[in-house]
Amino acid sequence: MRNRIINKLDLYRLFWRSFCLQAVWNFERMQNLGFLYILAPVLNKLYPEREKRIQSYGRHLEFFNTHPYFANVLVGIVARMEEEMAKGGEVKPEEISAVKMSMGGAFGGIGDSLFWGAWRPFTALIACVLVIIYSKKWEGAWLAPLIFLFLYNFLHFHTRIQGVMEGYERKTKVVGLLKKMYYLRTIWSSHIIGLALVLLTVLVLMFRDWQAIERLYFLAFFLSIVLLNRWRISSAKLLYLLVGISCVGAYIF
Amino acid sequence: MIAEILLVSFIGGLLSLDVSAWGQIMVSRPIISGPIIGLLLGDLKTGLIIGVLLELIWINVISVGAAIPPNATIVAVTCLALIILTERTLPVGNNFQGSYRMVVLALTMPLGEIFKRIDIKQRKLNARFVHYLDREIIKGNLKAVERVNYFSLFLFFLKGLLFSLVAISVGLYILPKLFSYLPFAILVGLNFAYRLLPALGLAIAFNTFRGL
């Protein structure tokens, strides 16, 4: 059993502080101050001598950028490496920088496509569809946003806590963590469910809220927006297009 | 009224923190911030509807790397506050509720872009904090790290608060006048547009999921 300086409570403290990662996000070195802020209690504990502590703070002022949730994996890894270095192990400061740089980029890519690209749109869509379909009777509709919050944050908090813990335990072998997170695979395939949900909602709206020939307008409008959006016309412009067309249309008819 | 505007701006400031500065537990998404503002102003139903419409419209907004997308939270907060507060002044049994909502929506939409510009300015200025800390840490003033973090968080909060306060106040001044100028034909057209709005959101959601 190796003697540890960082205990479980410190790791939870890192987790709690990790919410502030982007508090001083800047274009020059991005999340560097957030990362230093998260790590500060651990650095204070590891380096009681003032001179070394100042040095360790200075080292973490370097550029750092990754996905905010997966940053916790790196927080865990760096805490462990700093601990080993403080105890006189053979970890060099350059190694810590290298790990922060290389793994930061990799986790950034994974996190962006996993959370921003797939999980958030998917959970948000579920809530939106629930509200739209149940909008005729309002008793239960307010539950939908809560469902979104719980679904989304289940994976979010799991990633944050596991990130710190596993990163600290396994160091750079943490890439295996991604294999362990088998549920990721189900999220990759969620876009098919998402497409089906959208189409179902369009059909429900078409037959519930519109009558006779108006249904065709509705469907034609949906399809044309799909096409226009495909050509990278932004949401705001599409909204103005809708306003313009309907105003002109009202004058003509 | 004034107390309500202040309360909404305060909550708007807190919610806009969640976009990136603190947490990102997604209370900043329109689908959550909409109902929250609705609840504060006593109209949860409107909050839910507009929240869902805005969520679908901005569902593809992703901040990859250093890119900063238009701010959906500030649009949701100001748009909902303006819709609920102006609807109180409209005569009861108005047939064109949807048209007025559409006007508010169209007018608050650019706020997301404007707020994004301010956000970029602030993030450029944040580099000054980095240089400040570069000097302070060499001097041995390690407590400055925490202070700078909290101060920057406070600035992010203040930015959201002031922006929504100004936007809601200006909107409340302009909108009732604008409503009274709108001709009948435009109102009919806008009402139709409001009914089509879910299709717009769903089409954008469709493309988001097709593009994954």
Query: In Å, how far is A174's CA from the nearest CA of chain B?
Result: 22
Residue of A nearest to B146 (CA): A37
Task: Flag if B205 and A68 touch (Cβ within 8 Å).
Answer: no
State yes or no: pLDDT of B172 exceeds 90: yes
For residue range B146-163, what is the model confidence (pLDDT) as tens digits? 999 999 999 999 999 999
- Count other Cβ atoms within 10 Å, centred on residue B126: 22
The per-residue pLDDT for A102 is 87
| Amino acid residing at A250 | A
Tokens of B46: 């409107």
Give the span between the Cα atoms of A210 and B27, in whole angstroms. 33
To the nearest 10°, report the CA torsion of A104, A109, A70, A89.
-30
How many domains does one find in chain B? 1
Q: Which residues of B touch A125 (CB under 8 A)?
A: 56, 59, 205, 209
Nearest to B189 among A23, A152, A250 (CB): A250
Nearest to A242 among B133, B150, B196 (CB): B196
Tell me what the pLDDT averaged over chain B comes to: 91
Nearest to B200 among A23, A199, A225 (CB): A225
The per-residue pLDDT for A141 is 83
Task: Flag if B105 and A240 touch (Cβ within 8 Å).
Answer: no
Q: Interhelix angle for A214-230 vs B184-210, to 10°?
A: 50
Q: Which residues of A touch B145 (CB under 8 A)?
A: 33, 36-37, 40, 57
Query: In Å, how far is B97's CA from the nearest CA of chain A?
Result: 15
Please give the full DSSP string across chain B, using - where no structure is assigned: -HHHHHHHHHHHHHHHHTTTTS---STTSHHHHHHHHHHHTT-HHHHHHHHHHHHHHTTT----TT-----HHHHHHHHHHHHHHHHTTSPTT-TTHHHHHHHHHHHHHHHHHHHHHHHHHHHHHHHHHHHHHHHHHHHT-TTHHHHHHHHHHHHHHHHHHHHHHHHHHHHHHHHHHHHHH--HHHHHHHHHHHHHHHHHHHHHHHHHHHT-
The DSSP letter of residue A137 is: S
Strand partners, A26: A30
Average the pLDDT over B75-100 and give the result.
Answer: 88
Q: Which residue has the tokens 């020059």?
A: A28
Q: Which residues of B touch A149 (CB under 8 A)?
A: 25-27, 32
Return all residues near B209 (Cβ < 8 A) that are at least 6 apart.
A121, A122, A125, A191, A194, A195, A198
Tokens of A225: 């927006």
Task: Flag if B153 and A20 touch (Cβ within 8 Å).
Answer: yes
A6: buried, middle or exposed (CB in 10 Å: 19+, 13-18, 0-12)? Answer: buried
Kindly give the confidence (pLDDT) of every residue in chain A, 253 residues in length, as a single tens digit, with 9 standing for 90 and above.
467 888 889 999 999 999 999 999 999 888 999 999 999 999 999 999 999 999 999 999 999 999 999 999 999 999 999 999 988 888 888 999 999 998 888 888 888 888 888 889 999 999 999 999 887 777 778 899 999 999 999 989 988 998 899 889 887 677 666 666 656 666 666 788 889 999 999 999 988 888 888 899 899 999 998 888 888 788 888 889 988 988 888 888 7
The per-residue pLDDT for B149 is 94
Nearest to A127 among B21, B31, B129 (CB): B31
The DSSP letter of residue A115 is: I
Task: Flag if A235 and B58 touch (Cβ within 8 Å).
Answer: yes
For residue range B17-30, what is the model confidence (pLDDT) as tens digits? 998 888 889 999 99
The three-point CA angle A14-A19-A23 to 5° equals 115
Please give the full DSSP string across B68-119, using - where no structure is assigned: ----HHHHHHHHHHHHHHHHTTSPTT-TTHHHHHHHHHHHHHHHHHHHHHHH
Q: Which residues of A touch B208 (CB under 8 A)?
A: 121, 194
Return all residues near B67 (Cβ < 8 A) that are at least 6 apart.
none
In the A/B pair of chains, how many CB contacts fall below 8 A? 242
The per-residue pLDDT for A233 is 81
Question: What residue spans define the domains of chain A?
Answer: 8-188, 191-252
Domain that includes residue B49, residue range: 2-210
- Count other Cβ atoms within 10 Å, centred on residue A216: 11
The per-residue pLDDT for B102 is 93
ipTM score here? 0.92
Task: Flag if B198 and A236 touch (Cβ within 8 Å).
Answer: no
